Amino acid sequence: MFDYDAELVRYHARLMGAVDIKPDARVLDVGCGTGQTTRAAARAAYAGDVIGVDVSTAMVARARRLSTDEGLTNVAFECGDAESHWLPPGRFTLAISRFGTMFFTDPTAAFTNIARSLRPGAPLVQLVWQPAERQEWATAIRAALTPGGSAPIGGPDAFSLGHPDTIQAVLTAAGFTNVNLIALHEAIYYGPDVVAARDNLLALPAVTAMLPDAPAARDRTLQRLEAQLRDHQTSDGVWFDSCAWLVTAHRASGQ
């Protein structure tokens, strides 16, 4: 399983630093993955509760294990598509997402579902990637995997909310107001060394989909990938540049 917690260590700090989680908060974590943000929210909302929703059964199973291991009793995980998964209306005082909202088939339907689950006036605070061409990780790794190719690594969906006009329009149509974007620029981490970073990346279906089937071509592709990772090796591990939006919006009061 790809290690998003390690990859996003710096963005995690930015997101958690941007949200004000009251002790009695009721928090929804959208596309929660293995639940690092869900657990952090649960620790802050010690007199409230947190629900993490993710479409991946494997991620949710791991999220449940990790929160049980930590002894958290105010957190639950539900497996479902945020677009259609039933969420209790007007229940949550805050929704958060760390790069879990860019993959919806129908973003307006998904954000409408999220908006309805929030109390009027309650915030949604999320991180989304800026466009692919601003991502060193996406362009450099794609260049290694498919020289001359144009499809961005991470799949086109990873950048679906990259343009401010798009996110503004989608959130407004879904019943949010006061949409505010802050540009963030942070490095992301793939592993302590080239081999660990390569193996981590090979856990991403978007990466393995770009590997040729023929063994010799596959070996050459992996060598190019390793060379690219070597170029980004520092004394502190393998890092690439990236740009994200920290997006805050509030459920419109009249909704």
Ligand X SMILES: C[S@@+](CC[C@H](N)C(=O)[O-])C[C@H]1O[C@@H](n2cnc3c(N)ncnc32)[C@H](O)[C@@H]1O
Largest CA distance in the chain: 61
Q: How far is the CB of 192 from ligand X (least distance, A)?
A: 19
Q: How far is the CB of 55 from ligand X (least distance, A)?
A: 4
> How far apart (Å, rounded) are the C-alpha atoms in residues 249 and 184?
17
Say if residue 31 is exposed, middle or buried (CB neighbours under 10 Å; 0-12, 13-18, 19+). buried
Cα angle at 112 between 109 and 118, to 5 degrees?
Answer: 150
Say if residue 228 is exposed, middle or buried (CB neighbours under 10 Å; 0-12, 13-18, 19+). buried
Nearer to ligand X, 138 or 221 (CB): 138
Q: How far is the CB of 217 from ligand X (least distance, A)?
A: 28
Q: How far is the CB of 212 from ligand X (least distance, A)?
A: 25
Q: How far is the CB of 100 from ligand X (least distance, A)?
A: 4
Length of the chain: 255
Say if residue 241 is exposed, middle or buried (CB neighbours under 10 Å; 0-12, 13-18, 19+). middle
The identity of residue 180, as a single letter, is: N
Q: How far is the CB of 133 from ligand X (least distance, A)?
A: 19
Closest residue to ligand X: CB criterion? 33
Nearer to ligand X, 29 or 49 (CB): 29
Nearer to ligand X, 13 or 227 (CB): 13
φ, ψ dihedrals at 206, nearest 5°:
-65, -30
Nearer to ligand X, 31 or 162 (CB): 31
Nearer to ligand X, 53 or 122 (CB): 53
> How far apart (Å, rounded) are the C-alpha atoms in residues 123 and 226?
42
Nearer to ligand X, 155 or 237 (CB): 155
> How far apart (Å, rounded) are the C-alpha atoms in residues 99 and 186?
14
φ, ψ dihedrals at 171, nearest 5°:
-65, -40
Q: How far is the CB of 83 from ligand X (least distance, A)?
A: 5
The residue ranges that bind ligand X (CB under 6 A) are 4, 8, 31-33, 36, 53-56, 59, 81-83, 98-100, 103-104
List the one residue out of 46, 44, 51, 41 whose CA is nearest residue 92.
Answer: 51
Nearer to ligand X, 137 or 221 (CB): 137
